[in-house]
């Protein structure tokens, strides 16, 4: 089942599972990559109870899936600007996940929930795929460095803007979309960083549409913090925003960015709402950002192992949410075998204490 928002994915999942015949895996873009992979693995596993996958168009990229039938719940999606119909390449990319060569189902089927969408689906599948006539190019640091010297400035945002405005390419190429890079450049230009460091931060995996992830780029656990990264600490029945993070700012001021332990015994709680799940996904992005930066600034981001272990715990909390949100009937939760087996991939010694505490509180 394919739909295009987190809320619709969980709405469809609940509707399918309440019918009592199927359990669902879920896959969408903002899930941590390791969680997406595990959800796909459980869906592919014949021994698993999960035989339906409810997903966004994220299934069209980087996952090996045994799918016999694709069902579109809609052929419209919000692209960040407006709600529009899917293009022919988008429809064919998603539909092509059913019946792939070398998979369990070499021949697949595709249809829509709404009969009114079938004409667009049929015409799209019969249409030839558009020919790619041009390739996108992205400005490299070497090019921007030359441009910086020519204009006598190390402010990245104006350099990038001028470069994009003046660049001339042959008809076979175009400048790739740099809107996100411009947004990050405007942030890091306020910090006393070298041009190369600014460029690296602009290349970092930050979702500029995610407030928490973006704040993680510019904030770290220092008293001079301005904006907050939302991390969960149990306080009664609510989650409190407590951690301040300044990655780029602290790197600029002190040259070293330390990461404090976020998830500790006594502070953990599995999400119970979609909003809490969404915030936890954002926390995972910030931890992933720290790990990414640690490979570019090895000495300045020394807590890579801590970030990686915290990221694993974050993923596990998300997976616990997905398992606990499974089908329920007459007060009995249907227990999934595979997630428990997959837990062994994590550091069991590190996680055992955390999840004993969670399980004890949930009883």
Which pTM does this prediction carry?
0.75
Low-confidence stretches of the chain (pLDDT beneath 70): 207-246, 326-363
CATH fold of the domain at 132-203: Zinc Finger, Delta Prime; domain 3 (1.20.272)
CB-CB contact of 144 with 159 (8 Å): yes
**What tens digit of pLDDT does each residue of 299-344 get?**
999 999 999 998 988 888 888 888 777 654 434 444 444 444 334 4
**What tens digit of pLDDT does each residue of 79-103 get?**
878 999 999 999 999 999 998 877 8
CATH superfamily for 6-126 is P-loop containing nucleotide triphosphate hydrolases (3.40.50.300)
- Indicate the domain borders of the chain: 6-126, 132-203, 206-363
């Amino acid at each position: 089942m394919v739909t295009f928002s987190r809320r619709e994915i969980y709405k469809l999942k609940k509707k399918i599972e309440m019918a009592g015949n199927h359990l669902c895996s879920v896959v969408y873009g903002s899930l941590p990559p390791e969680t997406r992979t595990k959800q796909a693995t459980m869906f592919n596993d014949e021994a698993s109870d999960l035989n339906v996958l409810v997903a966004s168009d994220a299934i069209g990229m980087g996952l090996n899936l045994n799918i016999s039938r694709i069902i579109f719940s809609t052929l419209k999606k919000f692209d960040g600007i407006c709600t529009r119909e899917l293009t022919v390449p988008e429809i064919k990319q998603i539909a092509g996940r059913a019946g792939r060569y070398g998979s369990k189902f070499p021949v697949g089927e595709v249809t829509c929930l709404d009969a009114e969408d079938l004409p667009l689906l049929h015409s799209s599948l019969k249409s030839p795929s558009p020919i790619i006539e041009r390739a996108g190019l992205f400005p490299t640091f070497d090019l921007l460095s030359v441009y910086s010297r020519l204009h006598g400035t190390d402010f990245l945002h104006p350099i990038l803007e001028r470069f994009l405005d003046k660049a001339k390419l042959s008809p076979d190429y175009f400048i790739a979309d740099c809107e996100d890079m411009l947004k990050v450049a405007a942030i890091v230009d306020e910090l006393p960083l070298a041009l190369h460091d600014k460029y690296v931060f602009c290349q970092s995996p930050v979702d500029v549409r995610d407030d928490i992830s973006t704040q993680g780029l510019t904030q770290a656990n220092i008293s001079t913090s301005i904006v907050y990264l939302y991390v969960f600490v149990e306080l009664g029945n609510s989650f409190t925003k407590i951690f301040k993070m300044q990655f780029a700012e602290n790197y600029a001021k002190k040259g070293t960015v330390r990461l404090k332990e976020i998830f500790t015994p006594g502070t953990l709680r599995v999400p119970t709402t979609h909003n809490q799940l969404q915030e936890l996904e954002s926390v995972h992005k910030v931890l992933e950002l720290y790990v990414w930066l640690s490979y570019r600034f090895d000495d300045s981001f020394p807590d890579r192992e801590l970030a990686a272990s915290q990221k694993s715990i974050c993923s596990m909390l998300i997976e616990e949410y997905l398992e606990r949100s499974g089908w329920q009937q007459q007060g009995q939760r249907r227990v999934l075998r595979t997630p428990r087996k997959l837990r062994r991939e994590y550091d069991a010694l590190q996680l055992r204490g955390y999840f004993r505490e969670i399980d004890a509180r949930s009883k």
